[in-house]
Chains A and B, each alone.
Chain A
Amino acid sequence: MTDLERQIRKMLEDEVRSAPAPHEATRALRKTRRRQIVSVVAGLLTVTAVVAASIVGLRAVRTADRGVPADQPTVTTTMNGISITYPDGWSVIDPDAAGLNGPPDPASDLPRLILALSPVDTGEMLACPGIVEEAPPTFLMTVQEEPLALSGAAAESWPAALEPLSVDSDGSGSTGDVGTGCYPAWEFLRAGWTASGRTFEARVGLAPEISDADRDALLAAFASMTFARAEEAARSVVLATGTAGGEAWKLIASRQTDGLSMSLQAESFGTGSGGFETRPDELQVMSHAFGDYGEREIVVFGAVPVGITTIEASPPDGAPAVSADVLDVPDEIDARLNAFVLVVPADLPIELNAYDADGNVLLRGTTGGYDFPAPTPSPDEVIFRGRTNDCLWTLSRASVAPGQERIDLTAEDVQVGFLANVRPDAPPLQLVSFTCPRDPGGTLVFGLYTDDVADLRFPTSAPDEHGVPECWPADLPARFCLFLLDGVGDRGEVIALDANGNEIGRASFP
C-alpha cells in the first residue's frame, strides 16, 4: 500500500466520523411502503396485466360449484365486507394494515385492495413471495374493490369464474416481478364480478410447486366468498366499456364535491375531467385518441342534461354517422346530468348533435380533426433482449429506406435510436448512447462500425478498454457490424482505428 493510499484510508475513516445519522425510520418506512404499493399494485395485483381472453387452450378454472373440502378444518373471516372460509392455518391479510394501499381517498375512483389470502404470513414480503427464504408461499390471492360496474364483464353477478390471466413474463414493464424474483414461473388467474351493489376483481397467483390439495382449497376459498352490501351508495360507477385503436377502455362517472366527474381509463393511461355543468347551449365534450397512426380512433365522451336521449357524430365527408344512446348516470352521482360515449375516427373533424326523444337537435358540438405526426418506423426485428443491472432493454432494427436502417434501444417506454447509414459511403463509426431510467449509473453505447475498423478506443472515459466489440446478428449489409457496450463511461469519445493503428473515425457520446 502506498503512502497516498494509507492517507486516503485514514482520511476516509476520520471523515466518516462526521457523517450524519440517517433520517428517522418512520419516514423511510413510510416511503418504502408507498414504493411497495407502486411495485405491487403495478405488478401482480391490479393494473396493466393483459387479460388473456384470446388465449385458446388454456384451461379456465370454473370454481362456482366447488365447496371447501369437508375433511379440512376451516375458519371464516370477514374483512372489509367480504366473508371468506379457508383452511385453518392460512392467513387473511388486511391490505391497509399491510401498507399495500395508499392513504384512503374518498374522491379517488381507483381500485382498492381489500383482502389478501396467503398460506403463510410473510410480513412485508407479502408482495414478493418468490424471495421468501424459508417455505415461500405457494399462492397469493388478492381482492380489490372497483367502481361499481353498470355494464361490461365486471357487471356480471357472483359467482364468478376464475380465468387464466396472461402476464408479461419477460420481466419488462410494470409486470416485471413475474419474470424475475417475485413470481417465478407462477400461473395467474383473475375474475371480475358485481355483488351486493359492489364490484370486485380477484387475482390469484399460483406457484408451480403448489400442491393439488392447496390449489383445490384455494379455489374453494375463492368460491366461498360472500359480500356485504355497500354501506353507502356508490361514489363511482363504470358507465361503459369498449375498445378503441386496439386498447380496452372504461368510462367512469364519479360524484365529486364540485359535481359530476368523468374519467376514461385504459391500460396505458387515464384521463378525465370534473365539474360538468348543465349548460343549455353546448355539449361538454372530452376525447382521447387511441391506436397507431392510420388506425387511430378517438373515444369522445361527455355530459348532457337529462332529456337528451341520443348523440350522433357526423364526419364532414359524407361517411356514415355514428350514434349512441345516452348513458344513465345514477341519481346518487348526479341527478341533473347523463353521459355519452362514442368511438369515431380520429383524423376527421366530427360534428356532434344531441337529440331529445322527439328527434329534435337540442345541442351541438364538434371534436376530432387531430393532426397527428407521422409515425416513427416501428422496428420490424428485435435483435436482442438484454439486461444490464436492473435495466431490461430491447435492441431492434427496422429498414426505413434503401441504405438506411433505424436502430433502437428501448427500455421502460424510453426509446433511443438513430438512423444508420448503411450505404457504401457510410462512415466507419456511428453510435449513440442510452441511459436506462432504472439504471442511471450505467450507460449503454450502441451503434455500427464497418469492417475497416480494427480497434475501438475510449480515450476519455475508459482508456483501458479497447478492442473490436462483439458483432450482433442484425441482418445488415455484410460490412456493417452492430455493437452494444456497457462499462465505457457515460460520456466520452470513441476512436476507430484501422489495422495499421490509424484513426479512421471518431464519435462522441452522449
Chain B
Amino acid sequence: MVSSAVTEDAGRRAGRLEELYERHAPGAVRLAFLVTADRELARDIAQDAFVKVAGRFRHLRFPDAFDVYLRRTVVNLCISHFRHERVEREYLQRESLAASGVEEQPELGTRDELRRALQRLTARQRAAIVLRYYEDLSEHEVAAAMGCSVTAARSLVSRGMGTLRTIVRSEDR
C-alpha cells in the first residue's frame, strides 16, 4: 500500500518536472544557439540553465517567472562562456580565419554575412541584440534579462547595431 503510493507520487513529480522541461527547454536552446552559434554548446547551456533554475524553484509564485529566470540564466551562461578572454579571442581568430578562407564572399545583407557579423560582437552585445530582435523584448525586459540598467541595455543594443552596421558596410566595400 505504502510502496505503491510512493511510486505513484514519484511518477507524478517526475511528470511535472518533465513537462516543465519540455515546455521551456526548446526556447532556451534557441536563445542559447542564437547567442553562441554553437549547437552543442547551446544544448548544454540550455540544460544547465534549466537545472539551475528548476533546481532551486524560486520565484515560481509569479506567472512566467520561470521563463524570465530561465532566459536570464541562459544569457548569463552564454556570457560567462565567452567571458574568458582566451575563449573569445580564439573564437574570433577562428572566425576571422574562416572568413578569410572563404573564396566567394556572400552578398551584402545575406543571412550568412549578418550571422558572421553578429558573432563578431561581444557576447553581451550579441545577447542584447538577440533578446531585443528575436525575443522581441522591451529595453526594460532586456535589462532585466541581462542584469543591467536600462541605459546599459540600450547602450549594448545600440553599440551592437552600430558595430554590425560598420561591419556590413566595410564588407560591402
Contacts and interface: CB of A to CB of B under 8 A. Distances in A.
B149 A20 contact: no
Given A98-B13, A441-B146, A11 B115 contact: yes
Contacts of A419: none
A13 B43 contact: no
Contacts of B26: 21-22
Nearest to B16: A123
Contacts of B92: none
A14 B111 contact: yes
Contacts of A131: 57-61
Interface stretch (A195-203, A228-236, A459-467): A459-467
A10 B61 CA distance: 35
Contacts of A34: 55
A495 interface: no
A62 interface: no
B109 A441 contact: no
Interface in A461-499: 462-465, 486-490
Interface residues of A, number: 67
Contact of A23 (B17, B47, B58, B59): B47
B140 interface: no
B154 A464 contact: yes
Interface string A170-194: 0000000100111000000000000
Contacts of A5: 133, 161
Contacts of A28: 21, 25, 47, 50-51
B168 interface: yes
A133 B54 contact: no
B39 A15 contact: no
A77 interface: yes
A451 interface: no
Closest 9 CB pairs of A and B: A35-B55, A441-B76, A22-B25, A97-B10, A487-B149, A19-B33, A12-B134, A487-B148, A123-B13
15 contacts: A5-B133, A10-B111, A15-B111, A19-B33, A20-B39, A22-B47, A23-B46, A25-B18, A28-B50, A35-B55, A94-B10, A123-B13, A131-B57, A181-B61, A489-B124
